[in-house]
Amino acid sequence: MKTMLVTGGAGFIGSNFIRYVLEKTGFPGRVVNLDKLTYAGNPENLEDIRRKYKSRYAFVKGDICDFRLLNGLFKKYSPETVVHFAAESHVDRSIFGPKDFIETNIHGTFALLETARSFWLSRIPDPRSSISYRFHHVSTDEVYGSLGKTGKFKETTPYDPRSPYSASKASSDHIARAYHHTYGLPVTISNCSNNYGPYHFPEKLIPLAILNALEGKPLPVYGDGLQVRDWLYVGDHCAAIWRILRKGRAGETYNVGGNCEKTNISVVKEICRALERLAPSAANPALKGRSYEDLITFVKDRAGHDRRYAIDFGKIKRGLGWSPSVTFARGLAETVRWYLGNAAWVGNVKTGAYRSWLKKNYD
C-alpha cells in the first residue's frame, strides 16, 4: 500500500489536509500522521477519521527532530510521499520565545530531509521500479518580508524574513531547496498566505476574534489595524497542495494565495457582522447589551509587525490549473458556523481540557 507521511497532522492545516486526502481525493493508500502534540496539536481534530479509516490512518506521537524515530518510521512504513506541515507557527510566540522555532522549523526540517535522502536516494535504485518519491515542504509568504502599498510576492521575490518565525521558515525553505539542487531529492515547496477555517487554534486572529466575541471579551487589534493579509480558505490550500503533489515538478516552488487582501480591522468587523447574523449579540447574555463591534479594542502593536502581504499565484494557476474557489464571505460564514456548531471542541481547547485528554491517551 502506498504511504504518505504527514508531519504536523494534528494541527490546523495538517488535520484539514489529512481529512481532505482521505475523504475527497480517492487516494487509495495509507496516511501516517507524525505529530509531537505541542500546545497546537490536537488529535481530537481527526478522531472521526481515525475511527473511519482504521487500516489506512495511523497516528504516531513524536518529534520531527528525532532521527531515531524518523529512521524507524521510514523502515516500518516506507513512505513514498512526505508532506511536511510540522512547525511552530505563531509569530507572537516566536517573538517571546524563538528557541522552539529554531529547533522544530530548522533542525526538524533538516532531520526529515536527511532521513528521506538516506532512504530514497542512498539505496541502490531498482531500474524497474516505478516508485516516484516526493517531499513537499509547506511554507509561508512571510519569508518574503513586508510589502509597501503595491506589488505582490512572486516565487522570484528575494527572501527578507523579519520575525523569528519567518526567519526559521526561510531557513527551512533554503535547506529543502538545497537538498533538491545538491542531492536531487524530489522536493517541492509551497509558500502560502494566511489560512482560516475549521480547527484553527484560537491564538490566531480569526478564531480568537470569533471566540472572544462570543464570550463578550475584547477583540484585540494590533496598532492601527491597517496591516493587510491575503486570506486563504484552508480547503483551497489543501486542494493546492494536492495539485502540487499530483502535477507539480520536483525542484519547483509555488506561491498559493487567496486573492483576498484585507486590513485586519476590516476582517474583525466582518467577523462581527457574520456573528450578528448567525448568533445575534442581542440574544447573547455575555454581551450585556453591547454589539460585537463594541468589543473591538486597539492594543499595542506587535514588535516588527509586517505591514502588508499579498500573493501572486499566477504560476500555480497557469502551470497546474489551481486558483482559490472560496470567497471570504462564504469561507468566513462557514468558519463561524463551524465554531458555533462545535462547542465541545471549542470548550476542550479553551479550557485546556484537550491537554489532559492527550496526556491520558498519548503519553
CB–CB of 194/223 below 8 Å?
no
86 binds, among ligand TYD, ligand NAD, none (CB under 5 to 8 A by kind): ligand NAD
* Footprint (CB under 6 A) of ligand NAD, residues 1-20: 7-8, 10-14
**Residue 198 contacts which entry, ligand NAD, ligand TYD, none (Cβ below 5-8 A, type-dependent):** none
User: What, of ligand TYD, ligand NAD, none, does residue 11 touch, CB below 5 to 8 Å by kind?
Assistant: ligand NAD
Asked if residues 125 and 241 have their Cβ atoms less than 8 Å apart, the reply is no
Number of amino acids touching ligand TYD (CB under 6 A):
12
Beta strands 228-230 and 261-263, pairing class: antiparallel
- Hey, which residues between 136 and 195 contact ligand TYD (CB under 6 A)? 194
Q: Alpha-carbon distance 204 to 176, whole Å?
A: 27
41, 117 contact by CB (below 8 A): no
Nearer to ligand NAD, 81 or 281 (CB): 81
What does 227 bind: ligand NAD, ligand TYD, none (CB cut-off 5 to 8 Å by kind)?
ligand TYD
91 touches which of ligand TYD, ligand NAD, none (CB within 5 to 8 A by kind)?
A: ligand TYD
At 267, the amino acid letter reads: V
Quote the Cα angle for 48-237-57, to 5°. 30
Cα distances (angstroms) measured from residue 265 to each of 123, 186, 336: 54, 41, 17
Q: Is 308 one of the binding residues for ligand TYD (CB under 6 A)?
A: no
Instruction: Name which of ligand NAD, ligand TYD, none residue 264 binds, using a CB cut-off of 5 to 8 Å depending on partner kind.
Output: ligand TYD
Q: What is the smallest separation between the CB atom of 39 and ligand NAD, expressed in angstroms?
A: 8
- The Cα 116–Cα 110 span in angstroms is 10
The answer to whether 110 contacts ligand NAD (rule: CB under 6 A) is: no
Q: Tell me, residue by residue from 223 to 252, as one string, x for binding to ligand TYD by CB under 6 A and - for no binding.
A: ----x-x-----------------------
Cβ neighbours around 60 below 10 Å, total: 17
Least spacing, CB of residue 88 vs ligand TYD, in Å = 12
Contact (Cβ atoms closer than 8 angstroms) between residue 190 and residue 255: yes
The site string for ligand NAD over 147-176 (x = CB under 6 A, - otherwise) reads ----------------------x-------
Asked if residue 40 binds ligand NAD (CB under 6 A), the reply is: yes
Asked if 249 and 309 count as a contact pair (C-beta separation under 8 A), the reply is no
| Cell numbers placing 1 | 500500500
Asked if 64 interacts with ligand NAD (CB under 6 A), we say yes
Q: Which of 57, 144, 165, 254 is catalytic?
A: 165
Based on CB atoms, which residue is closest to ligand TYD, 109 or 194? Answer: 194
Interface with ligand NAD includes 145 (CB under 6 A)?
no
- Are 69 and 42 spatial neighbours (Cβ–Cβ below 8 Å)? no
CB of 255 to ligand TYD, least distance (A): 16
Query: 221 near 339, Cβ under 8 Å?
Result: no
- Identify whether 66 is a catalytic site residue: no
CA trace torsion 128, 186, 190, 173 (10° rounding): 160
Provide the angle, in degrees to the nearest 10, between the axes of the packed helices 328-341 and 264-278: 50
Closest listed residue to residue 169, CA positions, set 151, 153, 189, 152: 189
Residue from 5, 21, 32, 35 touching ligand NAD (CB under 6 A): that is 35
Check if 334 is active-site. no
Residues marked active site are found at: 141-142, 165
Give the footprint of ligand TYD on this chain (CB under 6 A).
91, 194, 204-205, 208, 220-222, 227, 229, 264, 302
